[in-house]
Amino acid sequence: MNMEDLRKILNKEQLEGVLTTEGPVLILAGAGSGKTRVLTHRVAYLIAEKHVKPWNIMAITFTNKAAAEMRERVDRLVEEGAEGVWISTFHSACVRILRRFADRIGYKTSFSIYDTDDSKSLMKQIIKAKNLDPKKYKEKFFLSRISDFKNQLIDCDEAEKYLKGAEGRLLSGIYREYQARLKSSNAMDFDDLIMNAVLLLKTDKEVRDYYNDRLHYIMVDEYQDTNAAQFELIRLLTLQRKNLCVVGDDDQSIYKFRGADITNILSFEEHFPGAKVIKLEQNYRSYTTILNAANAVIGNNHGRKKKSLWSERGEGEKIRFRRFDSGYEEADFIADDIRKREKSLTADFKDFAVLYRTNAQSRTLEERLMMSGIPYRIVGGINFYQRREIKDILAYMTAIENPENDVAVRRILNVPKRGIGATTEGKIAEYALEHNLSFYNGMQQGVENGMFGRSGKKLSDFISFIDTLRGKLTTDGVTGLVKDIIEDTGYARELQLEDTDDSHARLENLDELVNKAALFEREKNEDEETKDIPEEEKLSLFLQEVSLMTSADTGDDEENHVTLMTLHAAKGLEFPNVYITGLEDGLFPSQISINSDDSDEEIEEERRLMYVGITRAMDTLTLTCASSRMVHGQTEYMPVSRFVKEIPDELLDGSVKKSHSSYSSTSSYSKNTDYEFKEFTPPKNSYGSVAYGGVTGYSANNAGKKRKPRAKKEDISKLYKKGSDIGKTDLDYGIGDRVNHTKFGEGTVVDIVDGGRDYEVTVDFDKVGRKKMFAGFAKLEKI
Tell me whether strands 276-280 and 217-220 are parallel, antiparallel or unpaired. Answer: unpaired
Is the Cβ–Cβ distance between 714 and 676 less than 8 Å?
no
Is the Cβ–Cβ distance between 62 and 248 less than 8 Å?
no
Which of helix, strand or coil describes residue 60? strand
The residue type of 77 is L
Phi first, then psi: give them for residue 433, nearest 5 degrees.
Answer: -65, -45
Phi first, then psi: give them for residue 324, nearest 5 degrees.
Answer: -120, 165
* Separation CA 468–CA 463 (nearest Å): 9
Residue 36 is among the residues annotated as catalytic for this protein: yes
Is the Cβ–Cβ distance between 233 and 198 less than 8 Å?
yes
Is the Cβ–Cβ distance between 512 and 384 less than 8 Å?
yes
Element of type H or E holding 770: strand 769-774
Residue 256 is among the residues annotated as catalytic for this protein: no
Tell me whether strands 244-248 and 25-29 are parallel, antiparallel or unpaired. Answer: parallel
Q: 58 CB contacts (<8 Å, ≥6 apart)?
A: 85, 86, 87, 93, 215, 217, 218, 219, 237
Cα 623 to Cα 111, 209, 322, 610: the distances in Å are 50, 53, 6, 11
Beginning with the edge strand found earlier in the chain, give each strand of the sheet holding 276-280 in spatial order: 86-89, 57-61, 217-220, 244-248, 25-29, 276-280
The residue type of 280 is L
* Separation CA 641–CA 304 (nearest Å): 21
Q: How many CB atoms lie within 10 A of CB 158?
A: 13
Give the residue from 401, 400, 464, 460 showing the smallest Cα distance to 428.
Answer: 460
Is the Cβ–Cβ distance between 758 and 719 less than 8 Å?
yes
Q: 731 CB contacts (<8 Å, ≥6 apart)?
A: 752, 759, 761, 775
Residue 152 is among the residues annotated as catalytic for this protein: no
* Separation CA 538–CA 534 (nearest Å): 7
Q: Which of 252, 496, 581, 620 is catalytic?
A: 252
* Separation CA 221–CA 224 (nearest Å): 9
Length in residues, the chain: 783
Element of type H or E holding 500: none
Q: Which of 221, 250, 332, 392 is catalytic?
A: 221
Residue 252 is among the residues annotated as catalytic for this protein: yes
Q: Which of 13, 14, 35, 487 is catalytic?
A: 35
Residue 398 is among the residues annotated as catalytic for this protein: no
* Separation CA 354–CA 391 (nearest Å): 24
* Separation CA 438–CA 445 (nearest Å): 10
Element of type H or E holding 93: helix 90-101
* Separation CA 710–CA 708 (nearest Å): 6
Phi first, then psi: give them for residue 705, nearest 5 degrees.
Answer: -75, 145
First to last CA, the chain: 82
E-strand ranges in 36-156 read: 57-61, 86-89, 112-114
* Separation CA 53–CA 127 (nearest Å): 51
Rounded to the nearest 10 degrees, the angle between the axes of helix 12-19 and helix 35-48 is 40
Q: Which of 21, 36, 89, 748 is catalytic?
A: 36
Is 408 exposed, middle or buried, given 0-12, 13-18 or 19+ CB atoms closer than 10 A? buried
Residue by residue, what is the 3-state secondary structure of 619-654? EEEEEEEECEEEECCEEEECCECHHHHCCCHHHEEC
Q: Which of 139, 177, 189, 222 is catalytic?
A: 222
Is the Cβ–Cβ distance between 610 and 714 less than 8 Å?
no
Is the Cβ–Cβ distance between 18 and 41 less than 8 Å?
yes
* Separation CA 367–CA 564 (nearest Å): 12
Q: Which of 73, 616, 642, 770 is catalytic?
A: 616
Residue 118 is among the residues annotated as catalytic for this protein: no
Active site residues: 35-36, 221-222, 252, 616
